[in-house]
Chain A
Amino acid sequence: MNRAISAIVKKDMWEITANRQLLLMIVIVPLVLTLVVPSIFLLSAHFAPQEMEELQELMGMLPEEMQNVETEELMVRLLMNHILPLFFLIIPIMAASVMAASSFVGEKEQSTLETLLYSPLTVRQLFHAKVLASFLFSMLVSGIAFLGMILVLGVEMYALTGVMLIPGISWILVLALLSPAVSLIAITLIVRGSAKAQSVMEAQQKAAFLILPVVFLIAGQFLGVMLLSVWILAGLSAVLAVLAWVLLRTSLAKFSGEMLLGNR
């Protein structure tokens, strides 16, 4: 039944790219987060006066090993390895929830879910296909955003300082573990909610709450309250990955056609 699963994945991907409104949202958020915001940050770090008192104070709060480098380089390192990675939690959550909402609740809204359920796929296989489509899509968006970011920031950085930009080890963790984990969690929560949600909008609004904890993390990073070390990041990723797996399993167990369609 691989043909059926890949047909669903293809159809869902095509569907989302055909919807201009959704596509715009999916393009703009990563564009702002990974290109516009860091570019402004880079430029201001380069051109701003070096002896700003507030900045020095902020620098004073950083761990010791980070204080021995040039202010500008320090700021870039801070941005690159501590703040930008967190944006790669927002991007997959956003992409995954937009996609999952439109692919599960959207089918229900259009009355096409019942038609899918009449196929020879088990409800479990359908669930897998749908989750896979949302997951692949969100990873694709994150991947493209990452490549775009590295390319643009790398060029900017080289032009301004002549230094090559090399992503730190935290990036591997974020892209390989944390992003997939949060995107799976987002998908599963949306799917769980999809039995009750009657419209795509409703499901997407619920998903917006998922971004809140990430926003706190980012605010924390900026304020220097909790600079995430690689180890904390690794631990967090592992916990989230396990959580994603557990959520996925329990949702799958609850899943049935009758539950999805409701009593009509």
Chain B
Amino acid sequence: MYAVEMNHLSKIYTGGKTAVADMSLMLEQGEVFGFLGPNGAGKTTTVKVLNGMLQSSEGKCMVFGEDPAREPEKVHAVSGVMTEHAQMYNHLTGLQNLIFYGAMFGIGEEESRKRARELLKQLELADAAGQKLSAYSTGMRQRLSIARALMHRPKILFLDEPTSGLDPESAYNVNQMILALAKEQGMTVFLCTHQLRYAQEICTRYGLIDEGKLLTVGTLEELRDGVSSGMSVQIRADRVPDALEDALRKRAVSDRCRNTEQTAGIREFTFEAASEEEIPHIVSQIVESGGKVYHVSASRPSLEDIYFALTAERRQQ
């Protein structure tokens, strides 16, 4: 059974705006899936359709075998959802809020209190447990929402921009927590974000969405293969054989960090390599011809690079 299954899912709002267009996607259990796209791309709408808050206009979707359009409450029993619009009560304390939502899932008060305390501690809110929500900062609210979504120990966690509004340290901690949940408890995570760097740290697979359309789906490697075949390699060395230098110049990465340093015969090249296998070969060529290698680094396109490449491609079309 898939954790999430979408078949040609579309959502067109009554005003005629297409928020999700013909989306098909399967998520295995235990995946940390990064659903990436700019604001207004359709990420939140997808989460709402998957949780039965909105009815799809076309197509079908399932969450752990339950149809959110028919029996949303069955989906809710296994899913924890955190979105910007799902707030909690300002006049209740952090702890009271969590206990209330625990009760909504049928959890007894003692057990709720225990779980709430644990989560508050994990999310560094233990000191604020007795404070009313109205006194919470944006970042604290955000973290409390994550705690709320985890109260009933869901099988799948839908997180909509969980790290926006968090300082770098909190964002890092939240990321680590999500990672731990996935690894230790096998929780499936559906993470919507436009913060690609955070996504790259924790996701096992990605889907890129723009204007309601799913541009591509895959692991980081698969996405990289989709945009560029190789990796960019940077070498700094002196006495590079002329033939090799010419060959590398031809493969120089066009716009970024071209060969610059020429002091005392030291050359720096950034070029595209087909695979990692090529690097030792090039290095040994330089060394064998009596050259000194000062620096070699290889990097593959980051999620951000891939994202820009894909969206640029789409804009051109």
* A264 CA / B11 CA spacing, docked (Å): 13
Q: Is B13 an interface residue (CB 8 A)?
A: yes
Q: Is B53 an interface residue (CB 8 A)?
A: yes
Contact A119 B55 (CB under 8 A): no
Distance (whole angstroms) from the CB of B162 to the closest CB of chain A: 15
* A263 CA / B107 CA spacing, docked (Å): 31
Contact B86 A258 (CB under 8 A): no
B contact residues around A119 at 8 Å (CB)? 73, 76, 101, 104-105
Contact B86 A114 (CB under 8 A): yes
- How many A-B pairs fall under 8 Å by CB? 79
A contact residues around B55 at 8 Å (CB)? 258
Contact B73 A121 (CB under 8 A): yes
- A120-B74, A120-B76 known; A1-B88 Cβ under 8 A: no
* A82 CA / B203 CA spacing, docked (Å): 72
Partner of A120, one of B13, B86, B106, B108: B106
Partner of B89, one of A112, A120, A123: A112
Partner of A115, one of B79, B87, B92: B87
Q: Is A117 an interface residue (CB 8 A)?
A: yes
Tell me the count of chain B residues lying within 8 A, CB to CB, of chain A.
33
* A119 CA / B75 CA spacing, docked (Å): 9
Partner of B87, one of A111, A121, A263, A264: A111
Contact A258 B54 (CB under 8 A): yes
Partner of B85, one of A1, A114, A120, A263: A114
Contact A11 B14 (CB under 8 A): no
* A110 CA / B85 CA spacing, docked (Å): 9
Partner of B52, one of A3, A11, A257: A257
B contact residues around A6 at 8 Å (CB)? 103
Q: Is B271 an interface residue (CB 8 A)?
A: no
* A136 CA / B148 CA spacing, docked (Å): 28
Partner of B103, one of A3, A112, A114: A3
Contact B83 A112 (CB under 8 A): no
Tell me the count of chain A residues lying within 8 A, CB to CB, of chain B.
28
Q: Is B265 an interface residue (CB 8 A)?
A: no
8 Å CB contacts to A: which residues of B63-113? 72-74, 76-77, 79, 81, 83, 85-92, 100-101, 103-108
| A110, A115, A117 — most chain B CB neighbours (10 Å) | A115
* A18 CA / B93 CA spacing, docked (Å): 13
A contact residues around B74 at 8 Å (CB)? 120
Q: Is B15 an interface residue (CB 8 A)?
A: yes
Contact B89 A263 (CB under 8 A): no
Given contacts A18-B91, A119-B73, 17 further A-B contacts (CB under 8 A): A3-B107, A7-B100, A110-B89, A110-B90, A112-B87, A112-B89, A114-B83, A114-B86, A120-B73, A121-B73, A257-B52, A261-B53, A261-B85, A263-B13, A263-B14, A263-B15, A264-B85
**Which residues in A have some Cβ–Cβ distance to B below 8 Å?**
1, 3-4, 6-8, 11, 15, 18-19, 110-112, 114-123, 257-258, 261, 263-264
In the assembled complex, 13 residue pairs joining A and B whose CB atoms fall closer than 8 Å, in A order, are A7-B103, A11-B100, A15-B89, A19-B91, A114-B53, A115-B87, A115-B148, A118-B76, A119-B104, A122-B73, A123-B72, A257-B72, A264-B85
**Which residues in B have some Cβ–Cβ distance to A below 8 Å?**
13-15, 51-55, 72-74, 76-77, 79, 81, 83, 85-92, 100-101, 103-108, 148
